[in-house]
Amino acid sequence: MAFEPKIIAYLCTWCSYTGADTAGIARLKSPANIRDIRVPCSGRVSPEIIMRTFEQGADGVLVLGCHIGECHYNTGNHRAAKRLPVLQALLAYAGLEPERVRLDWVSASEGERYSRIANDFTDTVRTLGPIHWRVAERGAHFVWEQEPISHRYSAFSDEQPKHAVYHTAIYDEQTLILQAAARELLTNKLVDCVIGFEVGPRGRTRPAFIHQPENVERLVWNQDCTHNLSAYLSKKLGWGTDGGKKKQPDKLPKAAVVVKPCDSRSINVLLAENRFQRDQVYIIGMACDGIRQGAGFSNDKSGPIQTRCAACNVRTPVVYDTLIGDSEATYREIPPEHIYPGIDHLDALTPIERMNFWLSQFDRCIRCYACRQACPMCDCPICLYERDDSLWVGMGIDVDEKRAFHLGRAYHLAGRCVGCNECERACPMDLPLSLIHRKMAQEMETIFGYRAGMAVVPPPFVTILGGEENLP
């Protein structure tokens, strides 16, 4: 028997659903493979719905909405038009044939058009054959047996010395300036807390929270300050997800934070999303020459700088109240294929090979959520993938669920991720998460010409509530 695909179609109730009806009344032929689901608007079809549909065994997903300019809600279909191409790119990157998702427009009177699109899409999916997306077998392991794909930048591997020399004297000098700035802020009670870096008893540099002026001597600035401290800001200053206590609008907490140029970009995103007010945060910007590989974990003080730093072209924070230092490092123009070696390598593979690659990576994930917790952008009060009433992903720590979580998270970070690499650094299983997030950043730059965090501008997919709406 020939393969008959199972296709789920999400139809806007105001146009396409009626369009399908019109096709029926006109006795036009429509394939029996399609199961229609009526939705209020194509903008209602979130990427999670589509991903879940594939997880549950659909061979193709068709989304039909009103023509642009005819949306019942004015701009609902604009959202669908923005989202679907990015989702398609993400799923294709993860190993799904992009042809399995299609977005099109059908108005209520276009029965003939509905019939044509439905037939055409069914034929396309039938040619592709059955979907191999869901793994389903509990505890199955996946190993990547082809040539390893590195997620590290290769651009400088030849020219970079194995051991870099860090300007310890300059770090010491800047540490003193930093401590003085922190002391002043705390003594004058301009902030409640200074979030900076300290060196722990094991010699590992780690985040420090200074509340008293007499403790500022714990603060340091060195080649190991790799953490993105802006990850703590939303919870400290914003909507109080940790502790559940709502902040009083007339007495908003204030904090100072030490940021590198990359971290400063995430502050811009957070500000654009109204996580907190600009005057709640005092930004101590550090000009940055690059951070050492292995920083935050190993005690080797002379390793090479992180390759993301070697390719970084933002050496001075994009937003700050005080700037310390003057970066000596220069940016070198690097062709994109050298910056994103892993992405190119993956793009060149077949979809099934890409899927196997990602399964072999997600296989190691233990769903500890360290990536999410370390991320400055991941600050939903309850993560969509952790809600006890969530139907987007099961509770299991198996490769299907882990993939759903990571791809979902990648989509949620599209246009918001500033590439601080904290997720990848925090990952205990060494998953190449930057490979997904960089790919999404690339897509967002190509499609929308948007680079996250360069200014206080809301990312393309983000809907912002007004400042007052956001307050408790």
Partner 1 sequence: MNYLTHQELAAWLDHLAQEQTLIAPLNIAGNILYRPVKDTHEVVWDFTRSFMSVKDVFFPPTERLMLIEKLNGQVKLTETLPEGESIIFGVRPCDARGLLTLDALFIENEPVDPYYARRRENTTLIGLACPSVGASCFCTNVGGAPDDPTGMDIMLTASNGGYVAEIITEKGEKISKKFPVFDGLSEIRPHPTHARKRELRVPPKEAWPARFNDDFWAEMAERCLSCRICAYVCPSCRCFDVRDEALPGGNGQNQAERIRCWDSCNGIPYRKVAGGHNPRFMKNQRLRNRFFCKFYYFPLHYGPVSCTGCGRCIDACPVNVDITEVLIYMGRR
Stretch that binds partner 1, among 31-39, 91-99, 338-346, 359-367 (CB under 8 A): 359-367
Which residue type occupies 237? Answer: L
Q: Does residue 353 touch partner 1 according to CB under 8 A?
A: no
Q: Does residue 396 touch partner 1 according to CB under 8 A?
A: yes
Q: Directed axis angle between helix 399-412 and helix 76-93, to 10°?
A: 130
Q: Does residue 373 touch partner 1 according to CB under 8 A?
A: yes
Dihedral of the CA atoms 307, 310, 311, 317 (nearest 10)?
Answer: 120
- Distance of alpha carbon 178 from alpha carbon 287, whole angstroms: 12
Q: Does residue 208 touch partner 1 according to CB under 8 A?
A: yes
Tokens standing for residue 120:
């055409």
Q: Using CB under 8 A, which of 31, 99, 173, 209 touches partner 1?
A: 209
Q: Does residue 386 touch partner 1 according to CB under 8 A?
A: yes
Q: Does residue 472 touch partner 1 according to CB under 8 A?
A: no
- Distance of alpha carbon 182 from alpha carbon 196, whole angstroms: 9
- Distance of alpha carbon 221 from alpha carbon 207, whole angstroms: 11
Which C-beta is closer to partner 1: that of 108 or that of 284?
A: 284
Q: Using CB under 8 A, which of 190, 382, 455, 464 touches partner 1?
A: 382
Q: Read off φ and ψ for residue 8, nearest 5 degrees.
A: -105, 125
Q: Using CB under 8 A, which of 296, 351, 408, 453 touches partner 1?
A: 296
Provide, rounded to whole angstroms, the least separation between the CB of residue 470 and partner 1. Answer: 21
- At 72 the three-state DSSP class reads coil
| Spacing of C-alpha 244 from chain mean position | 25
- Asked if residue 360 lies in contact with residue 144, where contact means CB atoms within 8 angstroms, the answer is yes
Collect all residues with Cβ–Cβ distance below 8 Å to 191 and sequence separation of at least 6.
Answer: 185, 254, 255, 256, 282
Q: Which is it for strands 193-199 and 205-210: parallel, antiparallel or unpaired? A: antiparallel
Q: Does residue 4 touch partner 1 according to CB under 8 A?
A: no
Binding mask 77-116 for partner 1 (x = CB under 8 A): ----------------------------------------
- Distance of alpha carbon 452 from alpha carbon 416, whole angstroms: 5
Q: Using CB under 8 A, which of 425, 437, 438, 439 touches partner 1?
A: 425
Q: Using CB under 8 A, which of 24, 37, 40, 57 touches partner 1?
A: 57
Collect all residues with Cβ–Cβ distance below 8 Å to 39 and sequence separation of at least 6.
Answer: 10, 11, 12, 13, 45
Stretch that binds partner 1, among 24-32, 333-341, 420-428, 447-455 (CB under 8 A): 420-428
Which C-beta is closer to partner 1: that of 337 or that of 430?
A: 430
Q: Does residue 435 touch partner 1 according to CB under 8 A?
A: no
Q: Does residue 59 touch partner 1 according to CB under 8 A?
A: no
Provide, rounded to whole angstroms, the least separation between the CB of residue 144 and partner 1. Answer: 7
Collect all residues with Cβ–Cβ distance below 8 Å to 361 and sequence separation of at least 6.
Answer: 144, 431, 432
Stretch that binds partner 1, among 125-133, 199-207, 281-289, 311-319 (CB under 8 A): 199-207
Stretch that binds partner 1, among 10-18, 73-81, 281-289, 389-397 (CB under 8 A): 389-397
- Residue bearing tokens 């028997």: 1
Tokens standing for residue 269:
């995103």
- Distance of alpha carbon 388 from alpha carbon 395, whole angstroms: 8
Provide, rounded to whole angstroms, the least separation between the CB of residue 421 and partner 1. Answer: 12
Tokens standing for residue 422:
């904290």
Tokens standing for residue 110:
């276009």
Binding mask 114-153 for partner 1 (x = CB under 8 A): --------------------x-x-xx-x-xx---x-----
Q: Using CB under 8 A, which of 37, 68, 429, 455 touches partner 1?
A: 429
- Distance of alpha carbon 306 from alpha carbon 286, whole angstroms: 17
- Positions touching partner 1 (CB under 8 A) are 55-57, 134, 136, 138-139, 141, 143-144, 148, 200-202, 204, 206-209, 227, 231-232, 242-244, 296-297, 360-361, 364, 366-370, 372-374, 382, 386, 388, 394-398, 422, 425-426, 428-430
